[in-house]
């Protein structure tokens, strides 16, 4: 996982954080840096299929990883992520205990969400697939069609549901 691929605003600080965690004996490992849209899409579908087993995953187009503004880091013990996150925050970075492995430029997730919304009109994810569904099909059947199991649906966040509804609307579905 090359930190060099990250935004130049982020890469040097990411290296410093890894170094600091190493000096502290926490055996830091970078698990994700930049992701392509299709990589984010695969990750997102996997997350929807197993929502209880993973850290939160943004829909494709909506992740700070796609814009080089975030990286994921694990340490040993994992509980020490809180200290690493605190350090990152002290340096001015963005970190949230709900996604403790995720370190980003300040405001990166917000910016990614805005970019995702803007880009949605240009290259909607899975619209081609969804557009093969006949008119008048409810969102539950779109989820069926996309292979998202019933057990996962109660864990679909409002943001994710909104995204799926947007997809359906753009595809002429109700
Ligand atoms: Zn992340």
Q: What is the pLDDT of residues 15-45, one digit of tens each?
A: 999 999 999 999 999 999 999 989 999 998 8
Looking at the fold, whether 79 and 145 belong to one and the same domain comes out as no
The per-residue pLDDT of the chain, averaged, comes to 82
Domain check: are 49 and 110 in the same one?
Answer: yes
pLDDT of residue 130: 46
> Do residues 106 and 73 share a domain?
yes
Which of 75, 92, 117 is the last residue before a domain boundary? 117
Residues 24 and 101 placed together within one structural domain of the fold = yes
Q: Are residues 52 and 80 in the same domain?
A: yes
Return the structure tokens found at 108: 């990166």
pLDDT (tens digit, 9 = 90+) per residue, 65-119? Answer: 999 999 999 999 999 999 999 999 999 999 999 999 999 999 999 999 988 888 7
Q: Separation of 129 CA from ligand 1 center, angstroms?
A: 27
Burial 79-102 (b: 16+ CB within 10 A, else e): ebbeebbebbeeeebbbeeebbbb
Residues 30, 47 share a domain: yes
Please calculate the CA angle 46-49-51 and round it to the nearest 5 degrees. Answer: 90
Domain endpoint, select from 91, 117, 143: 117
Query: Which residues lie below 8 Å from residue 71, measured CB to CB, with a gap of 6+?
Result: 1, 3, 6, 10, 14, 30, 32, 33, 65, 102, 103, 104
One domain, residues 63 and 134: no
Cα of 100 from ligand 1 centre, angstroms: 9
What is the pTM (predicted TM-score) of this model? Answer: 0.70
CA of 102 to the centre of ligand 1 (A): 4
Could you give the count of Cα atoms lying within 13 Å of 159 in the half-sphere of its Cβ?
14
Strand, helix or coil for residue 103:
strand
Distance 55 CA to ligand 1 centre (A): 8
**104 lies in which domain range?**
3-117
């Amino acid at each position: 996982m090359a930190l060099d691929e990250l935004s130049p605003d982020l890469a040097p600080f990411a290296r410093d954080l890894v170094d600091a965690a190493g000096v502290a004996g926490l055996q830091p490992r970078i698990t994700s840096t930049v992701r392509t849209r299709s990589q984010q899409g695969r990750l997102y579908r996997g997350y929807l299929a197993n929502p209880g087993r993973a850290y939160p995953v943004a829909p494709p187009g909506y992740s700070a990883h796609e814009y080089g503004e975030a990286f994921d880091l694990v340490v040993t013990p994992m509980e020490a992520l809180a200290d690493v996150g605190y350090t990152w925050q002290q340096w001015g970075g963005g970190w949230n205990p709900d996604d403790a492995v995720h370190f980003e430029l300040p405001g990166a997730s917000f910016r990614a969400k805005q970019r995702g919304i803007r880009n949605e009109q240009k290259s909607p994810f899975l619209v081609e697939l969804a557009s093969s569904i006949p008119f008048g099909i409810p969102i539950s059947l779109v989820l069926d069609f996309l292979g998202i199991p019933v057990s996962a649906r109660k864990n679909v966040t409002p943001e994710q549901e909104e995204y799926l509804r947007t997809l359906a609307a753009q595809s002429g579905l109700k």
